[in-house]
Amino acid sequence: SIVECIKARFPSVQIDAADLSFEENVALTRQVVEFAHSKDIFVQGELGTIPGLRGQLKNNHKNNVIEYTDPLQAKEYVQRTDIDSLAVSVGTSHGLYRAEIRFDILEEIRSLVDIPLVLHGASGETRQDVRKAIQSGVNNINIDTELRFAFTQALKDFFSKDKEEIDPRKILACGRDAVQKVVEEKLDLVGSVGQARLVV
């Protein structure tokens, strides 16, 4: 739980109460922030819902209604909760498929909120849209499913060529290398190459 993570001194936590009413989300997030900040721990909050399931390759949630983040509510949410970053819902979906990003909403949120913005569910987005999201004010982009896919696909390819190998070091190395390749490509895409010195 978040409380256990805070007690264990994790450097940051995320509270996702976006499925609750706005007032309930504010109240719960504020409780987490007060406890976390007393331990100097960073808190990410979320407003709006992001459809799909993490790790899913095909979009089987076409009937899901996206609840976009309301820019004015975003401003109020940040002011009342004192969160350190905000995950917004602007059209992306969890999983490995492309969605239509509402850049107009994203840019309006950016104009009203002065903390880092987070984009969840970006694994299926094009390079152009990822770059545009950054230009529109996003500071943190999540790509979990794409990494899972790279890892598992590498293992499948490995065993299609060598069904007799039993050394886990060799087997897992191909998955690790595949994930590293994707991470390197994403770091280059978002402009983070050579920037580690700025955050350590």
Tell me the pLDDT tens digit for each residue of 137-176: 999 998 888 999 999 999 999 999 988 899 999 999 999 9
According to the model, what pLDDT value does residue 69 have?
95
Where along the chain do its domains lie?
Answer: 2-142, 144-200
Mean pLDDT of 121-130: 87
Tokens representing 63 are 């009937």
Distance separating alpha carbons of residues 163 and 93, to the nearest angstrom: 35
CB-CB contact of 66 with 89 (8 Å): yes
pLDDT at 55 over 50: no
Question: Check: CATH 3.20.20.70 for 2-142?
Answer: yes
The SS3 assignment for 121 reads coil
CB-CB contact of 182 with 146 (8 Å): yes
190: left (phi over 0), alpha (psi -120 to 50) or beta: alpha
According to the model, what pLDDT value does residue 200 have?
54
Question: CB within 8 A of 183, min separation 6: which ones?
Answer: 147
Mean pLDDT of 90-100: 76
The mean of the pLDDT values for the chain is 89
Which residue, among 139, 113, 155, has the nearest Cα to 191 in the 3D structure? 139
pLDDT at 105 over 60: yes
Q: Which residue has the tokens 């095909």?
A: 58
Query: Residue 99's pLDDT band (boundaries 50, 70, 90)?
Result: confident
Predicted TM-score (pTM) of the model is 0.85
Mean pLDDT of 92-121: 88
pLDDT at 54 over 70: no
Question: CB within 8 A of 161, min separation 6: which ones?
Answer: none
